[in-house]
Amino acid sequence: MTLNILIVDDSAVMRAMILKTMHMTDLPLGEIYQAANGQEGLDVLNQHWIDLVIADINMPVMNGEEMIDRMQENPDTKEIPTIVVSTEGSKTRIERLQYKGVRFIHKPFSPEIIRDTVRDITGVGVSDE
């Protein structure tokens, strides 16, 4: 199985860094889609099959938390594994996100954290160890 991944971050450099990090892991990557805010992310989700969403929180137009809420309201997207990659340092906010079922990775991150979290949340690549 390959993973179709949507990366949502208003920083093109951060999207490229996450993508580079994904390529550094041995995860089986399929199509990679990118979006600069939550609304663009929802548009991509409406048009393509996505196995995993990696999203920032603080973004213009629509932030990551609102995008996640909208995903969870939609039967087609509510089960998609989602990882938030953010600078958010508030325990209150992080716990609120985790309560919604998403995983949280703090910026700056290491490739190993990304790889292990993706493996854990999707189950992909675990049996290849």
Partner 1 sequence: MSEQLKEILSIVAGETLEKLAFMFSFPEDERGTMILDSAVAATISFAGPFSGTLVMTVSNQLLPELAANMLGVDDEETTLDQQHDALKETINIICGNLLPAIAGKEVVFNIDAPVIIAGVEAIKEAIEDHDNKPASIVKLNIEERDCDLFLFINGKFTLAS
Q: Which of 54, 23, 28 is nearest to 41 (CA)?
A: 54
Torsion, Cα of 102, 15, 51, 109 (10° steps): -50
| Residues 11-50 close enough to bind partner 1 by CB under 8 A | 11-14, 16-17, 20
Q: Which helix (H) or strand (E) holds 83?
A: strand 82-86
For partner 1, the binding residue among 28, 30, 101, 108 (CB under 8 A) is 108
Q: How many residues bind partner 1 (CB under 8 A)?
A: 22
Q: Which amino acid is at 89?
A: G
Binding mask 84-103 for partner 1 (x = CB under 8 A): --xxxxxxxx----------
Binding residues (CB under 8 A) for partner 1: these are 10-14, 16-17, 20, 58, 60, 86-93, 107-110
